[in-house]
Amino acid sequence: MTTQDIVILDYGSGNLRSAQRALEKVGASVQVTADFDEALNADALVVPGVGAFAACMRGILEVRGDIIIDRRLTAGRPVLGICVGMQVLFAHGVEHGTMVDGLGQWPGVVERLVAPILPHMGWDTVRVPADSAIFAAVAGERFYFVHSYGVTTCDLTPHDLNRRSPVVTWGTHGTDFVAAIENGPLVATQFHPEKSGAAGLELLNSWLQSL
């Protein structure tokens, strides 16, 4: 298989280098950059994210990441969101009573989880549907989560001819939440595959194989 050229979008969020190292371990050629053309034209784009929804959205808008992501998906070109990089793909996020617009690639609201302990931090299992591609080899494994917010209701349909019917994987921490979505060229995980050991690497490898 030809080495895939991957761009990790650098918009001021953390955790960029660990994602880079993980993708390089599974054979990708990886560049961390905010360059518009590089991000637009790479074989695949990774949108990481840690911290607050609003802060991540500000950073993405500053580097025109909204335009990059929308153009890539309109053309059927792969995008992978990780953690808050997944959350911002939804229509809205609510933090401390304030609603912030997301990228709107999917309908839905990111809200604080209802759970006895927050954040949801550490290794946990997920409920993988039978038709998942990225979890095919790791459906029974644990993945590493660090989050207090998530999407607890999910009613997704393909946006255009480039999107197949969404495959939604669920997790539970106090309440059910979306742990991952596979929606044609748009794939995202609430957990951190780059911090999830061998299972995370295998998941990233499956994603690369699907490009």
**pLDDT tens string 5-41:** 999 999 998 779 999 999 999 999 999 999 999 999 9
Q: How far apart are CA 208 and CA 211, in angstroms?
A: 5
**83 tagged catalytic:** yes
Active-site pick, 56, 173, 192, 202: 192
Token pair in block for residue 34: 């905010």
Q: How far apart are CA 94 and CA 110, in angstroms?
A: 6
**192 tagged catalytic:** yes
Q: How far apart are CA 10 and CA 18, in angstroms?
A: 13
Over residues 35-45, the pLDDT tens digits come to 999 999 999 99
Fold classification of 5-209 (topology level): Rossmann fold (3.40.50)
Segments of the chain with pLDDT less than 50: 1, 161
Contact 127, 169 (CB under 8 A): yes
Token pair in block for residue 89: 């793909």
pTM reported for the whole predicted model: 0.95
Number of H helices, E strands in the chain: 6, 13
Active-site pick, 83, 111, 147, 202: 83
Q: What pLDDT was estimated at residue 159?
A: 52
**182 tagged catalytic:** no
Active-site pick, 111, 182, 194, 202: 194
Give the three-class secondary structure for 208: helix
Q: What pLDDT was estimated at residue 44?
A: 98
